[in-house]
Structure 1
Amino acid sequence: MTRALSARLGGLVVAAALLVAAIFASLGVGASAIGPGTVVDALFAYDDGNAAHLAVRELRVPRTLLGIIVGAALAVCGGLIQAFTRNPLADPGILGVNAGASLAVTFAVGVLGLTAPGAYVPFALGGALVLTVLVYLLGSVGPSGATPMKLTLAGVALGAACTGLTTAIVLQHHSTLQVMRFWGVGAIGGRTLDQLMWAAPLIALGLALGLASARSLNALALGDDLAQSLGAKIRSTRVMVVAAVTLLAGTAVAAAGPIGFVGIMIPHAVRWFTGPDQRWVLGYSMLIGPTFLLLADVLGRVALPNGELRVGIVTGVLGVPVLIALVRRRKVSRL
């Protein structure tokens, strides 16, 4: 075993340990602090007459589980889009995928009157798929094909259009303003285990498709001609990545609202340690993404003396300086 491989495997162990610590922090920190021993008792020796056990089981377990799957979905989705577009600063938000899903959800809630999260999941997935395909088609126009710059510009333009339409629908349907006002910020609190039942399988399928495409994405980074000569199936890989991005971004937005910066920060930071190999990038992102999202959620619970900040606000506040630092770097992480 080489030294580099040993370091990467050791890093995975550390990342897994950090995720476990973040899970315990998410289960224990809140309006009332709950010790690790009480958390373990609530999970494995539940007493429905104990207020602390009830808070852990009914409130914090669903919140933590949603943070795990949404954090993994956003981080892996960001890594896939960055590899797919060969743009190290791309993410579902920059390419308009989140805006497409948000527009579809707003239409479902405001126009069709669907308020249950499970009811508008197909709309979120459809919106994410349509925007992903449109961005790639528009970015592919011209003799140079789908360049990172054209894909980014197409994503920003279509995302802005979707955001404008979303605002128009909300203003025209005042009854949905309250629902969309809180959903649009991005949050993982206030969810139940029943709501996780529809999100978890879709995200699991998206993660499986994304991980399965990692080796082919490594080949595509060398260029289409060389990738094809190496035996990579270019068309099927692109279809698989589009399907994975649609499932991951669409389901995450439907479940938690549009949460920014996770998809751009995590894969980019991971590549500083792993290098450009997508198998390691996606694997690490699947662990670091939930850790970051859970810790951001914990920070939002204790940041204010009364009440809490929603996790979408916290990730935005933390993400801005990180994004500025990434832009100011002379050499971004290689893809």
Structure 2
Amino acid sequence: MLTSLLARVSGALFCLGLLLAAMVSSLVFGHIPVSLDMLAASLVDYDPGSLEHLVIRTERFSRTMTALIVGAGLAIAGALMQTLTRNPLASPGILGINAGAMFFVVVGATLFSLTSPSELVWAAFTGAATAAFLVYFLGQEAGRGISPVRTVLAGVAVTALFVSFAQGLLILNQDRFESILFWLAGSVSGRDLEAILPLLPLFCLALLVALLLCRQLNLLGLDDEVVRGLGLKVGHVRLLIGLVVIVLAGTSVAMAGLIGFVGLIVPHMARGIFGTDHRWFLPLSAILGATLLLAADTVARLVIPPQEVPVGVMTALMGTPLFLHLARHLRKVS
């Protein structure tokens, strides 16, 4: 773990370098390879007649931006949920929030013919809030508040429920199956920048609120009575954090569908490197989350060319072994 200021600054700069490398790789690698010179030329002197320039401008740039935003959003949402619930296994994917958002997206797309992310995002918010309420209610233990074990079990049950409902709805409506399939598997391809831009102000507002709450998040690690004694309104802070999680998770699902494990694994990586101070831990979670999703999407294009593996499948392949290792480690510690 990095403890000194110099070490943390150096570590942050190194992570930013990894993020830059992941962005460049996302723009360069694919079914149609692009050289670094061609990439620079497409950004400075765009030629509509060049196939490489067209691929970068119309497909890979929007794809890279989507992965960047979704990866950062899921990582911060996971970090906030782990702090809020004091549960190291909490994340939007594990606790059913992503599945709830995805189910309401499927409902909006199949029953109400919603298509653009700016329309579907409101359905995703509703689904994320519904799932969060169900998990919170089911995770309560009589006289003891939220139980970490009951919360995880409730999240698994809610995830299975909403995924089953979504699949059943798609079976009944075959005409919409292909158009909504990528939300089930998770994908950052095919997203138009014009469809993403309306979501950015709300997304950036949620990120800003999360960063402004770093001091309060540090205090939430203490006992509730101690925190109240320090003058912090615990209920208000938790409600605000919950709203931020719903916005980040809902926006991510509206953009890219059901992508798991980013919100679970990345906060542990950032916490292991930079410690539990949210002033460092939270921004670096965003950087590492974006880097991980960009890398996963790049690898997904290269595994079975010219076909592509959905990025949600790739993050599951990468995250499942890490999740099992984390679960075993926590069991030994307990």
Q: In the TM superposition, what whole-angstrom CA distance separates every residue of 1:29-55 from its partner, at most 9, and x where no partner exists?
A: 111211122212211222222221111
- The 10-residue stretch of structure 1 (3-12 or 253-262) with the greater mean CA deviation from structure 2: 3-12
The residue that corresponds to 2:31 in the other structure is 31
Q: In the TM superposition, what whole-angstrom CA distance separates every residue of 1:107-163 from its partner, at most 9, and x where no partner exists?
A: 111222223332221101111112212322332352101232232222222222222
Q: In the TM superposition, what whole-angstrom CA distance separates every residue of 1:149-202 from its partner, at most 9, and x where no partner exists?
A: 232222222222222221221122221221222321000011111111123222
Amino-acid identity (%): 38
- State the secondary structure of the residue aligned to 1:184: helix
Q: Does 1:102 align with 2:102?
A: yes
Q: In the TM superposition, what whole-angstrom CA distance separates every residue of 1:8-62 from its partner, at most 9, and x where no partner exists?
A: 1111111111111111101111112111222122112222222211111111110
Residue identity in the other structure for 1:15: C
Residue identity in the other structure for 1:309: V
Gap runs ≥5 in structure 1: none
Residue identity in the other structure for 1:40: A
The residue that corresponds to 1:257 in the other structure is 257
The alignment's TM-score, normalised by the length of structure 2, stands at 0.94
- The 10-residue stretch of structure 1 (27-36 or 168-177) with the greater mean CA deviation from structure 2: 168-177
2:69 & 2:283 partners in 1: Cα distance? Answer: 14
The residue that corresponds to 1:195 in the other structure is 195
Structure-to-structure mapping, 1:245-324, within 5 angstroms: 245-324=245-324
- The 10-residue stretch of structure 1 (223-232 or 69-78) with the greater mean CA deviation from structure 2: 223-232
- Aligned Cα RMSD in Å? 1.9
Q: Does 1:131 align with 2:131?
A: yes
Structure-to-structure mapping, 1:182-221, within 5 angstroms: 182-221=182-221
Gap runs ≥5 in structure 2: none
CA contact (8 A) 1:205 1:247 kept: no
Q: In the TM superposition, what whole-angstrom CA distance separates every residue of 1:91-113 from its partner, at most 9, and x where no partner exists?
A: 10111101110110111112222
CA contact (8 A) 1:326 1:332 kept: no
2:14 & 2:333 partners in 1: Cα distance? Answer: 21
Residue identity in the other structure for 1:170: L
Shift of 1:333: 9.9
Count how many residue pairs are aligned between Structure 1 and Structure 2.
Answer: 333
- State the secondary structure of the residue aligned to 2:300: helix
The residue that corresponds to 1:48 in the other structure is 48
The alignment's TM-score, normalised by the length of structure 1, stands at 0.94
The structure-2 alpha-carbon separation of the partners of 1:333 and 1:87, relative to structure 1 and needing over 3 Å to count, comes to farther
2:273 & 2:156 partners in 1: Cα distance? Answer: 29
